[in-house]
């Protein structure tokens, strides 16, 4: 097959930081190598001015395609892929839902899935000026615009951001592949997060991350439920804070390959590209068939 792997930062899609470019390069190389390892031809769109036009052209030349992009760009790019070839990622409507952090939080909360609750300005005023919160874009991805702030640092509501309670705990993620009838968990991952002037900075991860059997079972259970509730398909990354109260709180849902895939391919005894293709065209293997071997840490700085 001819597979298009479109990575927004590497492909020239707008301004990006050095850290986002490094993440993009690592994910693109990982997926390209995996698809090629099982006999596929991989094409990667690049454009200085109009990345969407490049995706339009390349997707028409492909048997299937997958896009890695910020959530605010991912919806439209996925729509382009869906109009021209087989989309190996999440459906565009699922992408659109996951991109809206406010709506996603509300839906998961309604389903009884633990999430940091959104805190209104009135509630913040009642809690006092020194209470700590997390402020993040309503639409968007990555930790570059996510801040830990005190109540007095948020003078008014901003429709472009949401403010949630701050959950103290371990930063982790899960990686799953979602097929037509099952959700296959791959790994639980440790996330290296640095706080710089209140801003959260993602610096890499540890794959897999061992938390203890009961905690891991709970994270996997919630991950499967999240993917099902939000109608995700293909590779999905789910970010958690594992709180000091023993609960796993979902803080973000990434309906696309995430940076953890760089470590996953090092330890997974299965080609990640094969799993992505099987999720779309066939049947995913049973959980006990997909094992990891070894341990991998990666740093982006």
- What integer best gives the mean pLDDT of the chain? 93
Residue 121 has pLDDT above 70, yes or no: yes
Residue 15 has pLDDT above 90, yes or no: no
DSSP bridge partners of 7: 68
Domains belonging to the chain, first-starting first, are 2-88 (3.40.50.11770), 97-114+168-299 (3.30.470.20), 121-165 (no CATH)
User: What are the distances in angstroms from CA 92 to CA 3, 5, 232?
Assistant: 18, 16, 10
**22/191: higher pLDDT:** 191
**129/285: higher pLDDT:** 285
pLDDT tens column, 231-274: 999 999 999 999 999 999 999 999 999 999 999 999 999 999 99
Phi, psi dihedral angles at 222 (to 5 degrees): -65, -40
pTM greater than 0.85:
yes
Report the sign of the C-alpha dihedral through residues 17, 203, 225, 243, in that order: negative
Give 19-33 as a DSSP string. Answer: HHHHHHHHHHHHHHH
At 294 the three-state DSSP class reads coil
Asked if residue 230 lies in contact with residue 271, where contact means CB atoms within 8 angstroms, the answer is no
The pLDDT score that the predictor gives to residue 155 is: 59
State the average pLDDT over residues 6-28: 86
The pLDDT score that the predictor gives to residue 301 is: 66
| CA distance between the termini of the chain | 35
Cα–Cα distance, 250 to 222 (Å, whole number): 8
User: What are the distances in angstroms from CA 238 to CA 32, 55, 138, 173?
Assistant: 22, 26, 17, 5
């Amino acid at each position: 097959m001819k597979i298009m792997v479109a990575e927004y930062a590497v492909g020239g899609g707008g301004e990006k930081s050095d850290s986002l470019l490094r993440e993009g390069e690592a994910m693109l190389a990982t997926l390209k190598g995996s698809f090629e390892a099982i006999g596929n031809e991989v094409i990667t769109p690049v454009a200085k001015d109009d990345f969407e036009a490049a995706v339009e052209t390349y997707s028409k030349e492909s048997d299937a395609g997958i896009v890695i992009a910020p959530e605010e760009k991912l919806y439209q790019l996925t729509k382009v892929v869906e109009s021209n070839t087989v989309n190996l990622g999440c459906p565009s409507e699922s992408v659109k839902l996951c991109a809206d952090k406010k709506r996603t939080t509300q839906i998961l909360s309604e389903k009884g899935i633990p999430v940091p609750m959104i805190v209104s300005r009135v509630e913040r005023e009642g809690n006092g000026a020194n209470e700590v919160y997390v402020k993040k874009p309503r639409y968007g991805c990555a930790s570059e615009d996510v801040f830990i702030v005190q109540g007095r640092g948020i003078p008014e509501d901003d429709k472009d951001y949401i403010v949630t309670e701050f959950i103290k705990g371990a930063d982790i993620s899960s990686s799953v592949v979602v097929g037509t009838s099952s959700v296959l968990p791959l790994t639980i991952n440790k996330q290296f997060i640095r706080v710089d002037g209140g801003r959260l900075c993602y610096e890499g991860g540890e794959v897999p991350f061992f938390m203890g059997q009961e905690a891991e079972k709970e994270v996997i259970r919630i991950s499967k439920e999240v993917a099902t509730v939000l109608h995700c398909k293909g590779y999905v990354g789910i970010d958690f804070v594992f709180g000091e109260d023993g609960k796993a709180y979902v803080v973000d849902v990434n309906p696309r390959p995430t940076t953890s895939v760089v470590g996953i391919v090092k330890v997974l005894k299965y080609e990640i590209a094969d799993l992505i293709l099987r999720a779309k065209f066939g049947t995913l293997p049973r959980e006990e068939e997909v094992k990891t071997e070894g341990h991998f840490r990666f740093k982006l700085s």
